[in-house]
Chains A and B, each alone.
Chain A
Amino acid sequence: MTDQMIAPVRPETVDVDAAIGILKERFPDAVKDDTREGYVGVVVERSQLVEVATAIRDELGFDYLSSATAVDYLGIEDSMEMVYHAYRISGGKPLVFKAQTPRENSSIPSLIDIWPGVDFQEREAYDLYGISFPGHPNQKRILMWEGFNGHPMRKDWKEAYYEAELKPFESRWPKGYVRRSEELNIFGKNVAYPADFDLSRLSDDTEASLYAGMGLGVDVEALNSDEELKTDRLVVNLGPHHPSTHGVFRMVVTLNGETIETLEPVMGYLHRNHEKIGERNAWNHNMPFTDRLDYISSMSNNLGYALAVEQLMSRGMRYTPPTYRAEVIRVLMVELTRIVNHLWAIGFLLNDLGAFFTPALYAIAEREKILDFFEATAGSRLMCNYMRFGGVFKDIPERIRSTANLLNDKVRDFETTQYLTQLITETLPRAVDELDTFLTDSEIIKTRTIGVGYLPTETAIAYSAAGPLLRGSGVAYDVRRAEPYSIYPELDFDVAVRYNGDIYDRYLLRIDEMRESLRILKQILPRLERTKGESFFSGNKAVYMPRVAIGEAYGRVENPKGELGYYVVSQGDPKGPQNPWRYHVRAPSFINLTVLGQMCKGQKVADVVAILGSIDIVLGETDR
């Protein structure tokens, strides 16, 4: 005790403000406070970014880079910047640092040597913003195809269906010029091209550049001359249309015999530029769009976005935080979502191991009942669109009932509290136990998963892995505890953690997490009872175009698949309808894939599918 008091404060334990102070002292020329209204953190001179980042990681202890993304300030500062959110793996607030670059010939040094987890994120910034990252070994487009014209997230880039800069569009009311939006497409009905359009000019060298680095055309004889068994080196494409890839996702692997030498994920097949849509949208327009990210856990996607925007709103006037009942309902929904997601993930892991669909269907049988509840409350099973800024869409219904309607005269009717209580205290625990009994000791599962897809702790942190992937590798990092939100501080639960970092541990971890979620849900039930009849929304529900204070915010939640973050910037003019200036999604599925190549190296080709299944990705979120 006395020792500690005498010893000087260790920089890796000081809080964020003090850390920034230390940083400014060390780099007086390179590090400046970000003084813009509503902004936090520091702006780093880009020529010294690498040194500063190294200090942030090694000296100040911010070892986990959660998010790295670009913003285009065209018309405001006429520059672009990269925004980094670095956290400590022990928890706490982020150190936000930014590096600015002019829009022309923009370049920012790559941080890949410090945090390998920025790999895909920098490629994304290169792809969508055209910022180049000297030092990045594989700077290629990632979501768009090689040869795509322009960088779509730049503010001056316009999409084919472009109508106006911001929604709501003028043409909708009071003179509604109705037409099909396909007519806005410059290619007409998708088949006719403009007269001067030369198809042969379109080139796509993606494939060539992809394969070139993967050892095609290598002389096998010379390469394997010492080995007893002569093996050929082969490039194999898994996907994009492959049942094991959970969507349209492709892995290009080089095999030496059956062993994987390199693996490169190829994605973007489902890319729709979610973020560009998000920046055309007004604030509340985005809520239903977030459903479409991780479409298995739309409730928690909603919550992340609501938290980010509420952070911004709380800085303005006339903001009341969500009511207690709203928070209780939110936690109820997101924890049910976690169970839904993990049931699904475990079911599909079995699928990936070769037990086709039968176990998956058993695993998701109980999920159906949760979805019924979602449907009765939010109106939809998957696309819930349930959270609002300041609360939720509607209170939980008194009865879960399907009354006579035009399609079917058959009636279902449950008392909601009873239904939920039974679900949470009986049905779901039984389902989890059942999975546990039948799967955990199954020797097939054990042989296929133990020791496979090993991810060491340090690698997991360095690669910004999140969620079950991180916790399965022995890091007890859970946003619900590391930087608590909603009513999690008053709830009693443990962060599940497993230490072996293989597929089996990730599976066990999901079982643990479902149990912890059930523990939380059991504490939620009495709170639901107690707050019955209280308001589920704070503020004025009739406000359809909320005003959002100027500034930036990063809201993050522990999604079932990992840390989901929303980086939002508001530059709104206080009179007109307001739209986000920047809307970025830190998608856990996307960033967790960064480490896939590492995990698969040296494994057998049949294991790739299982390893991918154990990460648990969803393409709606990966490709955005």
Chain B
Amino acid sequence: MYGVGILKGLGVTIRHFFNTYVEDLRYVGKKLNNTQEFERRQGVDSTGLYTVQYPEEKIAVPERFRFVPFLVVEDDDHPERPGHDWCTSCGICPKVCPPQCIWIVRSEDPVTKRPIPEPEAFFIDIDICMNCGLCAEYCPFDAIKMDHDYELADYDRTGIGVHIHDKEKLSKPFSYWRKIAPTTAWEEAVDRGGWEHIDVIKQKQKSGAPIAKPGPTWDSPYVPPIVPVKEEAPAAETAQAGGEAVGTAAEAAPVEMSAEDAAKEERRKKREAALARKHAKEQGGEG
């Protein structure tokens, strides 16, 4: 019958129209700028249509979101090497970059002319960068990472330091990386065997100094401090506890386990994590 199709079509529009406003009415006044609401509206259960009110409201990006890379440097309050580059100018990322938008000047010792593992200059042309993430993927030192900051518009696109980011503009502290990508940062730290730069860890392993190790699970509230504070007993203790947990996990991983053993191991890890949480809570209560 003619006309039914049109009515049906209009019906869809009307349904969406009302759904949208039903939502508005039900959550009157708190639809915007409300964490829970935003989450629900963006979730799988949301109904109706809504607009993300950019730039007041922004969709939170997932951890693996990639935009123009940045360089990891040590935090400013790092006791041994504040602000030191993680990059060793090994030259892998400029080779692996598909549009070839990374330029690195390797430092040289003025006397011996031997290369120093720290770049003298580092440039990325963000007009050319295609945000592919290959540099971050292949960097063996976890020194270059993909950023979440996608608002890079500028009035001028020419000149170095504007759209060709130089080292100063590229460098961001390690704590920033931990903040925007906690899981990934944790996984990488587990692979390295500690929170610090791989070279530092190796050195410390040699000298026997304490190494800050990541906790057993990335989202456990117990995350050891990045820098172990030697004077205070409780902090040192926690660092040790963390080290233990990771040590066992790392040992257990490569060995092939039966399902039963794995389950046991799993329970053990959970118990440890729970203990650690309890410990942390007690500490918090005292403080």
Contacts and interface: CB of A to CB of B under 8 A. Distances in A.
A289 B63 CA distance: 23
A360 interface: no
Contacts of A519: none
A401 B184 CA distance: 12
Interface stretch (A177-185, A522-530, A559-567): A177-185
Nearest to B3: A443
Interface stretch (B89-97, B205-213, B225-233): B89-97
A149 interface: no
Across the A-B interface, the 5 shortest Cβ-Cβ residue pairs: A176-B103, A442-B5, A402-B60, A288-B132, A174-B106
A408 B60 contact: yes
Contacts of B12: 362, 434, 438
Contacts of A407: 58, 60-61, 148-151
Contact of B65 (A175, A379, A434, A545): A379
A383 B96 contact: no
A438 B176 CA distance: 49
Nearest to A577: B95
A177 B96 contact: no
Contacts of B35: 409-411
Nearest to B135: A544
Interface in B66-101: 66, 89, 91-92, 94-98, 100
Interface stretch (A45-53, A94-102, A233-241, A392-400): A392-400
B183 interface: yes
Q: How large is the interface on A (under 10, 10 to 19, 20 to 34, 35 or more residues)?
A: 35 or more
A542 B138 contact: yes
B115 A174 contact: yes
Contacts of A379: 62, 64-66, 133, 146
A358 B14 CA distance: 12
B182 interface: yes
Contact of B39 (A287, A403, A410): A410
A162 interface: no
A544 B95 contact: yes
Contacts of A441: 4-5
B5 A380 contact: no
B190 interface: no
B98 A281 contact: yes
A379 B134 CA distance: 12
A397 B5 contact: no
A68 B102 CA distance: 37
Contacts of A287: 98, 132, 134
Measured as residues with beta carbon below 8 angstroms from the partner, the interface class of chain B is 35 or more
A378 interface: yes
Interface in A489-533: none
Interface stretch (A84-92, A335-343, A369-377): A369-377
Interface of B: 1-6, 8-9, 12-13, 16, 35, 38-39, 42-44, 49, 57-66, 89, 91-92, 94-98, 100, 102-106, 115, 121-123, 125, 127-128, 130-134, 137-138, 140, 146, 148-151, 158, 160, 164, 176, 179-183
A530 B3 CA distance: 50
Interface string A375-393: 1111110010100000001
Contact of A400 (B62, B66, B150, B176): B62
Contacts of A423: 44
A169 interface: yes
A402 B131 contact: no
Interface string A401-426: 11111111111111000010011000
Given A178-B103, A178-B164, A443-B2, A289 B98 contact: yes
Given A408-B59, A444-B6, A375 B104 contact: no
A250 interface: no
A402 B182 CA distance: 10
B149 A178 contact: no
Contacts of A288: 98, 130, 132, 134
Nearest to A174: B106
Nearest to B105: A176
10 contacts: A174-B106, A176-B103, A177-B103, A288-B98, A403-B181, A405-B61, A407-B58, A411-B35, A422-B44, A443-B5
A66 to B, nearest CB: 27
Contacts of B182: 403
Contact of A380 (B91, B121, B131, B158): B131
Contact of B105 (A174, A413, A545): A174
Given A173-B95, A385-B133, A443-B5, A406 B149 contact: yes
Nearest to B91: A173
Contacts of A201: none
A285 interface: yes
B62 A375 contact: yes
A258 B66 CA distance: 50
Contacts of B123: 176, 178
Given A369-B44, A406-B148, A542-B140, A180 B158 contact: yes
Contacts of B138: 542, 544
A229 B158 CA distance: 61
Contacts of B102: 172-173, 176
Nearest to B132: A288
A419 B5 contact: no
B130 to A, nearest CB: 6
A383 B13 CA distance: 31
Contacts of B105: 174-176
Among B43, B89, B181, residue most surrounded by chain A Cβ atoms (within 10 Å): B43
A438 B182 CA distance: 44
Contacts of B61: 375, 402, 405, 407
Contact of B160 (A178, A281, A359): A178
Given A376-B64, A438-B8, 19 more contacts: A168-B100, A172-B104, A173-B104, A180-B158, A287-B134, A358-B13, A375-B64, A379-B62, A379-B66, A401-B62, A405-B60, A405-B148, A407-B151, A412-B39, A412-B43, A414-B44, A442-B6, A544-B92, A544-B96
A169 B43 CA distance: 45
A518 B115 CA distance: 56
A391 B130 CA distance: 22
Contact of B128 (A181, A444, A577): A181
Contacts of A24: none
Contacts of A397: 62-64, 183
Nearest to B6: A444
Contact of B94 (A173, A362, A405): A173
Contacts of B164: 178, 180
Contacts of B94: 168, 172-173, 176
A177 B102 CA distance: 10
Contact of B42 (A178, A412, A443): A412
Contact of A176 (B3, B62, B121, B179): B121
Contacts of A542: 138, 140
A604 interface: no
A402 B121 contact: no
Contacts of A266: none
Nearest to A419: B44
Interface in A276-304: 281, 284-289
B96 A284 contact: yes
